[in-house]
Amino acid sequence: MAKPRLQPDGMSVLFLEESSGRSTVFDFAGLSVSEDIRRWLAAAVARQITARSSVKRLQTARSLVDAARHFAVVLSQHPVPAQCPADIVGDHFAAFRRRYEHLKPRTVAGYVETLRRLLHEDDRLSPSARQGLAAIRVRGMSRRETTRQTYTDAQWQVIMTALRREVRTARDRIYGARRLLADYRAGDLPAGSEHLLLGELLDGFDRTGQLPRKANTCGTPEVARCGGLVTVAGMLCLSPHELAAFALLLVTLTGQNYGTIATWPAAHFRPDGGLTEDGVALVEACKPRRGPEHEHMIVALEDLLTVDDPEHRWSRSPLRVYQLLLNLTGMARRHAGTDKLFAGRLAKTTAAATSPWITTLRIQHGQRWAEARGFPTVAAAEPGGTPVVSARCLRLTAIERRRRPVAHTATTMRDIYLMPHPVVQDQSRTVIAAALEAEVTKARDHFRVPVFTQAFVDLARRDPRAAADQAGVEPDQLAGMVGGAQDTVLASCRDHRDSPYDPAGTVCSASFLTCLDCSNARALPRQLPIQMAAIDALQDLRRHTPPTLWARRYGPRLQQLHDIINAFQPAEIDHARRAITAQHRQRISDLLEGRWDLQ
């Protein structure tokens, strides 16, 4: 049975971190507000850290607790007293906002959003208080806007070059040390050489995870001759900087969150059994923000087949980078006793890091790598200069370039990740403008079937030459249309061997349903009954056909038929409707079902 988050005293909350198994109790008893307010704040925090919530890490839980405690301080100092949640008014939330006036807008926005997340649906607050909480804004600042910056192609290339160089250097160093170790174990190193001494040290380090030390914990003279503890240990292990470079490179290749990648396991599944050179690896990942139903997911790391050069290919393939990292961290993982993908060795232990092995990768490691490689911080960045390395911006850029959802829905990708970007907006304007122009052109070019009225038919019978000149056709063509020899199902055809769909001189092979799109089509009064029957059939079909399919396939036909009948007088239309026969309806049924096209 799961332990309750809110403890029996009602003023303390238990938090269990799933990844580490650590438990922490947050106590609200010391807050300088009424007991009712203390219990209310404790209950609000407890609701946010249940087993089914998206709060899985201690740092996130602590931010909620800090927001509650800071709000309690505001309530205790505000001139409007609040003894219970119902006494809280909108000005209390405004005072919470003013409390952080001296901080950066992004920091203030974080505090406000955390408090809003904690209390915005609390039913013990009055409606006016909830409106006051929702109305808080940070001037000149939208937290979402500050996090939606992406890199230009030039900036992206600068960062990618640095990441690949870091990874390549680490690979070559460890592979070189492994070759030296293999030569030592095979007895191929000359006696008394420096390589023999280094091979001996590497052999002991690989077996035990330790290097010879003196009583003062410094390395022995032999270790010092080979470069020192850090240098020798680093020959077989990745440093925190190199682990961070791998993580950032995987962010750019997969579009996954840095924090999600940092917790990837070493265990994975190869559907091909690992027997083929090209394939995919399935890795189990966890993203708590997706909620309890979706936080656990399978990430497919694919190999890319865009290039043949192996050296060029590995650094652009998520699968190959994953396999390389898995290979290079094997020794550190073995001695650290971890099953995580990311494992390395620290330069030295500290009071906080008592073990020399690193198994937890944090965002700060990426920031330190960037600083060590000469990338500026946000405060020191200059317009047009070297870009600031940000895991979030790398992911946003990767998603923008890939245009595929990554651990989120297509709607989220479109509305949250892509639409705010200036580049995407510019591209969208171009696409939309082209589509609108195409529709305008289509509307202008849309062919309306010429209608021969009864008066024109009478003229054609009296004076064929004059009528042919007026219609822009040859007299024999007009005679065929007026006489009915060139009738199709819904209209008459000027010349079925002059089709826009087939080479000149060949019989038209287009569907009879597309006749109304053809420049050869002409409508005559005697065809009005079957055209009315077609309108009825299309309207009936609308009720039984998916809307998008009907609109694409039959919508234009219905509009064309309406254009034709609108050229006739109401009396003619009424007469035509009374003249519709069962034969007309059967012919339309055969037309819509495609039987006419088989004849």
Among 518, 526, 543, 542, smallest CA distance to 584 is for 526
Rounded average pLDDT over 52-71: 84
Among 105, 165, 77, smallest CA distance to 373 is for 165
Q: Which contiguous run of DSSP H or E holds residue 598?
A: none
User: Which two tokens mark 277?
Assistant: 């050179």
Per 3-state DSSP, the chain is made up of helix, strand and coil in percentages (nearest 5) of 55, 5, 40
Above 80 in pLDDT, residue 532? yes
What is the DSSP track for 249-288? HHHHHH---HHHHHT-BS--B-TTTT-SSS-EEEEEEE-G
Q: CA angle, 23 as apex, 20 and 28 as ends, to 5°?
A: 140
SS3 label, residue 344: strand
pLDDT tens digit string along 471-514?
Answer: 888 888 888 888 888 888 888 888 888 887 788 888 888 888 88
d(CA 452, CA 258): 70
Q: How many residues does the chain have?
A: 599
**For residue 371, what pLDDT band results from cuts at 50, 70 and 90?**
very high
**For residue 146, what pLDDT band results from cuts at 50, 70 and 90?**
very low
**For residue 436, what pLDDT band results from cuts at 50, 70 and 90?**
confident
Q: What is the DSSP letter of 85?
A: G
Whole-number average pLDDT of the chain: 84
User: Which two tokens mark 394?
Assistant: 């790398």
What pLDDT sits at residue 143? Answer: 41
d(CA 190, CA 184): 9
d(CA 313, CA 404): 21
Among 346, 362, 157, smallest CA distance to 258 is for 362
pLDDT tens digit string along 556-590?
Answer: 888 889 988 888 899 999 999 999 999 999 998 88
Amino acid (1-letter code) at residue 289: R
What pLDDT sits at residue 326? Answer: 94
pLDDT tens digit string along 82-136?
Answer: 899 998 988 998 888 888 888 888 788 888 888 888 888 888 888 888 888 888 8
**For residue 597, what pLDDT band results from cuts at 50, 70 and 90?**
low
d(CA 395, CA 150): 9
Among 263, 267, 304, smallest CA distance to 283 is for 267
Among 271-285, 390-404, 513-527, the minimum mean pLDDT is found in 271-285
Above 60 in pLDDT, residue 2? no
Above 50 in pLDDT, residue 524? yes
User: Which two tokens mark 395?
Assistant: 């992911």
d(CA 124, CA 422): 42
566: left (phi over 0), alpha (psi -120 to 50) or beta: alpha
Q: Are 116 and 133 in contact (CB under 8 A)?
A: yes
Q: Are 588 and 530 in contact (CB under 8 A)?
A: yes
Question: Rg of the chain's alpha carbons, rounded to an integer?
Answer: 38
